[in-house]
């Protein structure tokens, strides 16, 4: 792996420390080194590492959603200044995905920056003499959970090309690990974090975790992410076990969960996925199939509002704006209960607990103004229904392309122009080639 990518984490960390509220004992940050933090960090320094880690998760998040949403035919990103959103990502005119273009190099670098920060936090907490053992476990549990989450996003992009799990030493990184091994490592990392959080005290604040900011709450978030990994691994029993230890609930609000949050304050970030309705030039619009395929009366149509005029670019057109994130400060889910209900349905279908799956699917359907499920109560029919509900419930949250790929259904995605392609994965960035 290009060690320059891994070294990006430290300049980013310094910036995050500044934005998080610098303590006097940091001294001259221009001359700070990683060793200054990892030798005997104070609680204040560790808390700034946490803030920097959480902040960094937002960097290039909109681009990640563009990547998976475009290939998954959820959206078009029309940009007169950047045609590659509708050429490379859709395979137009024999275009291919480049291993040196922004759509893979930027999200790749951003996710590994956060992973680097997590590694620094783990090392700093391990060596700190200023915190209790329980507080140390809190920092470790948070860092390992976030590290696992970032690795999962990377794997979602490159799939069978693999990701590097071991990047602790930028001069001697580990090999690219294929999906089965990578998912096992991610699961193991989440399990280690679970063990940490079981004996933890949280001495830091989190911006987007709400009621899940203490040790018990972080443990529930950790198990929610573990359940997502379980279904990717087809570990259906484990998925149900982990759901039971998460914030999952059939009667719980769909919105309950944890989020990337944005703001207008000094040094904060805006949600750059948001574009106002009826824009021209730079806009994100819904793929036409979203409106044509949704059931009559489904209130999720509000996620794609009608435009005053049709938007067109490069042979593509849409009459609906994406309206999932309705302001520059709108939060983006990390994971929320509506997804967990659908994970519960999926695991039960695969285990042939079909009545339980129907109950879960009906919780989704009825809440969105659809009648109870009336189709065949069979495994194939219910899998189709589950994927359909995931499509509309989790629209523009980064799931559809991954869902269809893991079920071998990418061929079902529409091809909008003659010669376009549906990609199965992104290439590893050229600087990261083994």
The domains of the chain are located at 1-205
pLDDT at position 17 over 70: no
Cα 213 to Cα 215: distance, rounded to the nearest angstrom: 7
* Span 177-189, pLDDT tens digits: 999 999 999 999 9
* Span 31-52, pLDDT tens digits: 345 666 778 899 999 999 999 9
Q: How many helical (H) and strand (E) elements, i.e. helices and strands, does the chain have?
A: 15, 8
The runs of H, that is alpha helices, within 233-378 are 236-244, 288-293, 337-350, 354-367
Structure tokens at 120: 């620094």
* Span 328-366, pLDDT tens digits: 999 999 999 999 999 999 999 999 999 999 999 999 999
Burial of 264 (C-beta count, 10 Å sphere; 0-12/13-18/19+): exposed
Tell me the pTM.
Answer: 0.93
Q: Is the dihedral of CA 108, 110, 116, 121 positive or negative?
A: negative
* Span 196-238, pLDDT tens digits: 999 999 999 999 999 999 999 999 999 999 999 999 999 999 9
3-class DSSP assignment, residue 82: coil
Angle between helical axes of 236-244 and 337-350 (0-180°, round to 10)? 140
Q: Phi and psi dihedrals of 186, rounded to 5?
A: -65, -45
Q: Phi and psi dihedrals of 333, rounded to 5?
A: -65, 140
Summary mean pLDDT of the chain: 92
Structure tokens at 12: 């980013």
Angle between helical axes of 61-71 and 133-158 (0-180°, round to 10)? 40
* Span 81-113, pLDDT tens digits: 999 999 999 999 889 999 999 999 999 999 999
Q: Phi and psi dihedrals of 263, rounded to 5?
A: -160, 175
- Which residue is associated with the tokens 């920097």? 52
Cα 315 to Cα 82: distance, rounded to the nearest angstrom: 15
Residue 186: partners with Cβ closer than 8 Å, 6 or more residues away: 148, 151, 152, 155, 165, 229
Which CATH architecture fits 1-205?
A: Alpha Horseshoe (1.25)
Cα dihedral: 363, 210, 228, 263 (round 10): 110
């Amino acid at each position: 792996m290009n060690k320059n990518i891994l070294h990006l984490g430290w300049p980013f960390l310094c910036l995050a420390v500044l934005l998080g509220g610098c303590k006097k004992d940091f001294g001259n940050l221009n001359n700070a080194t990683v060793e200054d933090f990892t030798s005997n960090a104070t609680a204040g320094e560790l808390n700034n590492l946490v803030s920097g880690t959480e902040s960094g998760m937002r960097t290039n998040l909109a681009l990640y959603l563009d990547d998976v949403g475009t290939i998954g035919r959820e959206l078009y990103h029309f940009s007169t200044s950047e045609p590659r959103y509708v050429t490379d990502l859709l395979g137009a005119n024999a275009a291919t995905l480049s291993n040196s273009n922004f759509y893979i190099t930027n999200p790749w670098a951003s996710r590994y920056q956060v992973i680097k920060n997590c590694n620094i936090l783990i090392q700093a907490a391990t060596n700190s003499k200023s915190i209790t053992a329980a507080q140390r476990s809190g920092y470790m549990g948070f860092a390992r959970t976030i590290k696992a989450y970032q690795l999962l996003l990377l794997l979602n992009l490159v799939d069978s090309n693999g990701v590097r799990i071991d990047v602790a030493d930028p001069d001697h990184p580990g090999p690219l690990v294929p999906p089965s091994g990578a998912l096992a490592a991610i699961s193991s990392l989440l399990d280690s974090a679970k063990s940490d959080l079981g004996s933890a005290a949280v001495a830091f604040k989190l911006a987007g975790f709400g009621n899940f900011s203490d040790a018990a709450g972080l443990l529930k978030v950790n198990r929610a992410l573990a359940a997502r990994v379980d279904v990717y691994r087809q570990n259906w029993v484990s998925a149900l076990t982990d759901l039971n230890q998460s914030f999952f609930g059939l009667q719980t609000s769909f919105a309950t969960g944890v989020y990337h949050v944005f703001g207008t304050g000094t040094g904060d970030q805006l949600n750059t996925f948001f574009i106002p309705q009826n824009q021209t030039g730079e806009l994100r619009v819904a793929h036409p199939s979203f409106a044509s395929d949704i059931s009559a009366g489904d209130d999720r149509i509000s996620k794609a509002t009608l435009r005053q005029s049709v938007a067109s670019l490069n042979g593509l057109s849409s009459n609906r704006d994406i309206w999932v994130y309705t302001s520059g400060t709108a939060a983006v889910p990390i994971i929320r209960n509506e997804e967990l209900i659908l994970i519960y349905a999926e695991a039960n279908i695969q285990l042939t607990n079909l009545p339980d799956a129907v109950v879960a699917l009906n919780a989704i359907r009825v809440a969105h103004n659809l009648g109870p499920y009336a189709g065949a109560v069979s495994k194939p029919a219910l899998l189709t229904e589950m994927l359909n509900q995931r499509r509309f419930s989790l629209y523009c949250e980064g799931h559809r392309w991954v869902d269809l790929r893991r079920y071998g259904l990418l061929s079902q995605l529409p091809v909008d122009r003659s010669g376009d392609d549906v990609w199965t994965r992104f290439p590893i960035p050229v600087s990261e080639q083994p």
